[in-house]
Structure 1
Amino acid sequence: MSALHDLAATIAARKEADPDSSWTAKLLSKGPEKCAEKFGEEAVEAIIEAVKGDRDRLASEAADALYHLLVMCAARDVSLADIEAELARRQSQSGLAEKAAR
């Protein structure tokens, strides 16, 4: 398994955990809206580091953003497998064609 799959599995397991025992469980207990808010904050922080050009800080903030993206999706019962299936579906067409179809 990749680190991303391991992370997704941990997040899924934490959905049933006591919010006092896990940051992930605590975040999920606050609902999808709070999870989305936190993802937005982390995404903005990653954008800031991308603009600054600090590779190490960008890698750190990108990891935070990926974690919070998966938590947000888990809050709405969207799994990493669901996301991978959508990505696989999109591989059969060019990015330009996919954009035009929207």
Structure 2
Amino acid sequence: MNNLQLPQKDREKEIAQLDSFIKSDIDARELKRAIAVRMALSGNIYHEISNILGVSNFFIGYWKKQFKTQGIAGIKLGHKGSKGYLTARQNTEVI
């Protein structure tokens, strides 16, 4: 068994964790990642997943590995945007 395969009980816990994440209000990119990983953990073939979601096999493998090593945090968006140039006061003046 390699380090990305788990016993059935652990796999079910991961799938349940992904299900609750998918049902939460998340970005579409995070949703696609989570669905791809969930389908892979459920035993779907990468080729089938890529046809259904319109993603590459690399995409599925990459995000599955990220999830296995970092959990839900691994499939969340890392970029939070840049800080605005205007202060709060300047922003209200513009509005």
Larger radius of gyration: 2
More helix by share: 1
Per the normalisation by structure 1, the TM-score is 0.36
